[in-house]
Amino acid sequence: MTDTSGKNRMLLSGNEAVALAARDAGVALASAYPGTPSTEILESLATLGGPAQWAPNEKVAYEVALGAAFGGARALACMKHVGVNVAADPLFTSMYTGVSGALVLVSADDPGMASSQNEQDNRRYAPAAGIPMIEPADSQEAYDFLFTAFEMSERWKLPVMLRMTTRVCHSQTVVTPRAKGLDPLPTHFEHDIRGRVMIPGFARPAHRRLRAKLAEIYTWGETMPLHRRFDGSKKLGIITAGVCYVHAREAAPDASFLKLGMTYPLPYNMIKEFAKSVERCVVIEENDPYLVDACRAIGVACEGKAEMYRFDEMNVDRVRRILAHDESPEPVRPPGKPPQLCVGCPHRSALSVLKKLDCIIMGDIGCYTLGVLPPVDAMDSCVCMGASIGNGLGLRHVLPPDEARRVVSVIGDSTFVHGGITGLVEMAYNPPPTGHVVLILDNGTTAMTGLQDHPGTGVKLNKKQTHKLSFEDLARSIGITNVHVFTGVDPAGFEALVKQSLASEELTLIIARRPCLLSVKKQKAQPKAAAEKTNA
């Protein structure tokens, strides 16, 4: 929303601010796979008319963005924290190749796991991969820091990570955008075989080049304007970064602050001087003790947080407790109502049939994971996107035959494209003695993260039609003997099909194809919504 006072002020979520900055910074290509809390970056960029496209998974998204940056463009890749695990392979080596244009990776972490399967702290990736990392605290910084990230990336020809967290991504705060953006960079391919072909002989010097660049960035970082120091009371000094800064400012308004904008490489001298200037120095950070360990490693005497505060998000209450050394149990809040599969969701009936047949259900990630909760109660594992198929095959290989015959792998359509295809290849390559049954719950959308299209829907992020991946044809070409598409609503028919497939002891793929109720509603509402917009 825009202010009516004439001032160029907007109220934006952190994700919307990144999208706006991407457009203003002349990004030529932005690629991502959806994942909370990062999803709205590409959706907003697409709404702004920017060059945004969904990739089948985060590895591909990062590789596409890297390719664009090899060609001299400014490129953006966005993903949730666990997405970086998927993209980690190209990420690490892209630090050796560097880029010709500029590449920014947005990693959106989810402390407290509002909608994630783990609480990993992706700040650890920065030193591991050697990628410079900057952390915005609010939407204005998300906007500004994306520009800085591109400037850094262009100057050192290295990818740069903008590390966000759920509260920064989803909170709306006031943003004043730049009056003038950047022109897109001219694109062109320049051969640089030693620089980009990472065979050991070329990679060895490339690693040294990376370390030399990081040393330069370290020196620059000591004077960097993104770090901010506030000299308040000498009694208490707080070192912090990202959203923890605003919580801490509120909890301790009189304290001195060192707010770090770039958290890899860290400005060691700045930290040492700050710590020396105060009587008590406390590091406030969410999740892992990343900053406090780094401060201690350089001999800075500082306090961190008790282990109990590693879990879940930081907030003002918790900062107050940490500063007061309060390690008493935190008040227990009444639990909210958990989300559930929508009434009439097609996943419900399919999973209920597996439950009825006493299947061992290797599950996956998506709306259907909610089928683990009562009343459906039908899921035995959920690890990461695509794991259902490998997990199911592993079980089939080792279990006694009468148990092995009950194992089924259940996976959503978007998840199948993301990480399930290679599992199916494995199934044909190393078939278990009792065969196996994979069930794709094809509801025609990525429902969990808010109804995004994917290669299996044949529609792009900009809503244009494109090639539609056929799971049936794919499975047959992979070598799966039995491929069934079930579009019925009749549970008895579905039950008979599953029973027969389990009994056959062959390799079977069942595609249960029924649209997500919410996506049907949305599609019906869409033409209307568009008409409404033109009225307004």
Partner 1 sequence: MPEDTVTNVVFAGLGGQGIIKASDMLAEAAFRSGYDVKKSEIHGMSQRGGSVTSDVRFGREVFSPMVPSGEAQFMVALDSTQIDAARHVMRPDGLIFNPEMFLKDGQTFDDFDKNPGSPINRRNLNVALLGVLSTHLDLEESVWLEAVYANLPEKLHEQNAAVFAYGREVGKKA
Ligand X SMILES: Cc1ncc(C[n+]2csc(CCOP(=O)(O)OP(=O)(O)O)c2C)c(N)n1
Question: How far is Cα 125 from Cα 72, in angstroms, rounded to an integer?
Answer: 25
Cβ neighbours around 470 below 10 Å, total: 13
**Cβ atoms within 10 Å of 224's Cβ, excluding its own:** 18
Cα(392)–Cα(404) distance, rounded to whole angstroms? 9
Question: Could you please report the per-residue DSSP string of 115-132?
Answer: S-S----GGGHHHHHT--
Task: Identify residues 101-140 at the interface with ligand X (CB under 6 A).
Answer: 117
Q: Which does 82 bind (CB under 5 to 8 A by kind): ligand SF4, ligand X, partner 1, none?
A: ligand X
Q: Which does 413 bind (CB under 5 to 8 A by kind): ligand SF4, partner 1, ligand X, none?
A: ligand X
Please list every residue from 251 through 270 that binds partner 1, using CB under 8 A: 251
Distance CA 161, CA 131 (A): 6
Q: Which is nearer to ligand X, 14 or 83 (CB)?
A: 83
Q: Could you say whether residue 86 binds ligand X (CB under 6 A)?
A: yes
| Of the candidate residues 216, 293, 317, 327, the single one contacting partner 1 (CB under 8 A) | 317
Query: Is the CA virtual torsion 26, 27, 29, 31 positive or negative?
Result: negative
| Total residues interacting with ligand X, rule: CB under 6 A | 25
> Considering the rule CB under 6 A, would residue 443 count as an interface residue with ligand SF4?
yes
Q: Yes or no: say if 110 and 36 are a contact pair by the CB < 8 Å rule.
A: yes
For the purposes of burial, counting CB atoms within 10 Å of the CB of 426, is it exposed (0-12), middle (13-18) or buried (19 or more)? middle
Please report, as residue ranges, which positions from 505 to 524 form the binding site for partner 1 (by CB under 8 A): 518
**CA 393 to CA 152: how far, in whole Å?**
46
Q: What would the x/- binding string for ligand X be over residues 487 to 516, using CB under 6 A?
A: -----------------------------x
Kindly tell me which residue out of 226, 319, 448, 480 binds ligand X, with binding defined by CB under 6 A: 448
Angle formed by the axes of helices 244-251 and 316-323, nearest 10°: 60
48 touches ligand SF4 (CB under 6 A): no
Instruction: Judge whether 385 and 364 are in contact, CB under 8 Å.
Output: yes
Question: Site for ligand SF4 (CB under 6 A): how many residues?
Answer: 10
CA distance linking residue 333 with residue 136, whole number of Å? 29
Q: Is residue 454 close enough to count as binding ligand SF4 by CB under 6 A?
A: no
**Sign of the dihedral defined by the CA atoms of residues 313, 316, 318, 323, in that order:** positive
Instruction: Give the CB-nearest residue to ligand X.
Output: 412
How far is 243 from 285, CA to CA, in rounded Å?
9
# residues contacting partner 1 (CB under 8 A)? 46
Give the DSSP H or E segment for 240: strand 233-241
Task: Pick out residues in 329-348 that bind partner 1 (CB under 8 A).
Answer: 331, 333-342
Question: What DSSP element (H or E) covers 92?
Answer: helix 81-97
If binding is defined by CB under 6 A, does position 414 make contact with ligand X? yes
249 contact, one of ligand SF4, ligand X, partner 1, none, CB 5-8 Å limit per kind: partner 1
* Nearer Cβ to ligand X (120/443): 443
Q: What would the DSSP string read from start to end of 152-198? A: HHHHHT--EEEEEEHHHHH-EEEE---SS--PPPP------HHHH--
CB of 368 to ligand X, least distance (A): 5
CA atoms within 13 A on the CB side of 104: 32
Identified binder of partner 1 from the candidate list 75, 302, 367, 439, rule CB under 8 A:
367
- Of 328 and 487, CB closest to partner 1: 328
CB of 346 to ligand SF4, least distance (A): 7
- What residues from 301 to 360 belong to the interface with ligand SF4 (CB under 6 A)? 341-342, 345, 347
CB neighbours of 186 closer than 8 A, spacing ≥ 6?
72
Q: Which is nearer to ligand X, 282 or 365 (CB)?
A: 365
* CB closer to ligand SF4, 291 vs 447: 447
Confirm or reject binding of residue 368 to ligand X (CB under 6 A).
yes
Extract the tokens encoding 15: 């994700």
Identify which range of 16-24, 245-253, 254-262, 430-438 contacts partner 1 by CB under 8 A: 245-253
Residue 536 lies near partner 1 (rule: CB under 8 A): yes
Residues 237 and 259: their CA atoms lie apart, in Å, by 11
Q: Which residues ranging from 119 to 178 are in contact with partner 1 (CB under 8 A)?
A: 138, 166-167, 170-174
Which residues contact partner 1 (rule: CB under 8 A)?
1, 3-5, 9, 11, 36-37, 114-115, 138, 166-167, 170-174, 243, 246-247, 249-251, 315-317, 331, 333-342, 367, 370, 450, 518, 529, 532, 535-536
Which residues contact ligand X (rule: CB under 6 A)?
33-35, 58, 80, 82-83, 86, 117, 365-368, 385, 412-415, 443, 445-449, 516
Which residues contact ligand SF4 (rule: CB under 6 A)?
341-342, 345, 347, 367, 443, 447, 516-518
